[in-house]
Amino acid sequence: MSLTAGVVAVQGDVEEHVRAIERVCDRRGRSVSVHEVREPGVIPECDVLALPGGESTTISRTLHRAGIAPEIREHVASGRPLFATCAGLIVVSADAGDDRIDELDLLDVTVERNAFGRQRDSFEARLDVAGLDEPFPAVFIRAPAIDTVGDATILATVDDRPVAVRQGPILATAFHPELTPDDRLHELAFFEPEPAASSPE
Ligand SMILES: NC(=O)CC[C@H](N)C(=O)O
């Protein structure tokens, strides 16, 4: 059966997520149609969903204004996979410590925006990620870090700060897996959910 994927296309690296999803599906021999989500009515058709990085205050405001936010909540509530990267992580968190962000409160973590400081505004790290055999080339761009973790499971850390977590159908990273040709985290997010979550296969 063909997979229907959505990439929330408010802002940010949408095209890169689309291509990563197409690559993963191609490798797994799955046909896929990927929709860029800008309005309500698309997410209910999607088996899997990506929420890209960008600027989290803009993304948060637009999601609520466009009426997409409730559909993201329903998507997760129904156990369908959501992959949130960077600003996406900030938006799905429980608290980002910024009044301009109306968090979706789907992931039991609090985050600090731009947590790695000026000198390390952008950097790359070869990251050990739970569930992957080889380190992942992680690209950080004005990345958030996770401050406190409730129910979520930590998959990776930088300087002892969590930068990748999963909780039920949600996988979230402070970095940008869509900016590298390595799509193992898209594969983990969409095809190898935690046992409690339903699989799109
Ligand atoms: N690359 C990103 O998504 C950066 C996130 C950005 N610093 C924010 O807080 O919105």
Q: What pTM did the predictor assign?
A: 0.94
Please report whether residue 196 resides in a domain. no
- How far out from the chain centre does Cα 191 lie? 14
Q: How far apart are CA 176 and CA 196, in angstroms?
A: 25
ipTM: 0.95
116-143 residue pLDDT tens: 876 678 999 999 999 999 999 999 999 9
93 lines ligand 1 (CB under 6 A): no
- How far out from the chain centre does Cα 4 lie? 17
**Ligand 1 probe mutation, 142, 146, 147, 178, most atoms within 8 A of CB:** 142
Please report whether residue 201 resides in a domain. no
Please report whether residue 149 resides in a domain. yes
Of 41, 50, 40, the residue nearest 3 (C-alpha):
50
147-175 residue pLDDT tens: 999 999 999 999 999 999 999 999 999 99
Please report whether residue 199 resides in a domain. no
21-41 residue pLDDT tens: 999 999 999 999 999 999 999
Known catalytic residues? Answer: 86, 176, 178
User: Residues annotated in the binding site for L-glutamine, as ranges?
Assistant: 54-56, 113, 141-142
Provide the pLDDT for residue 120: 73
61 lines ligand 1 (CB under 6 A): no
Structural domain range at position 129: 3-191
**Residue 197 — pLDDT band, cuts 50, 70, 90?**
very low
Q: Greater confidence, 12 or 144?
A: 144
120 CB neighbour count, 10 Å cutoff: 14
Please report whether residue 200 resides in a domain. no
Please report whether residue 120 resides in a domain. yes
Q: How many domains does the chain have?
A: 1
Q: Can you give the CATH number for the domain in which 144 is found? A: 3.40.50.880
Please report whether residue 116 resides in a domain. yes
86 dihedral zone (left: phi>0; alpha: psi -120 to 50; beta):
left
Please report whether residue 44 resides in a domain. yes
The strand ranges marked E within the chain are 3-8, 32-37, 48-51, 82-85, 109-112, 122-127, 136-141, 145-149, 153-158, 161-167, 170-173
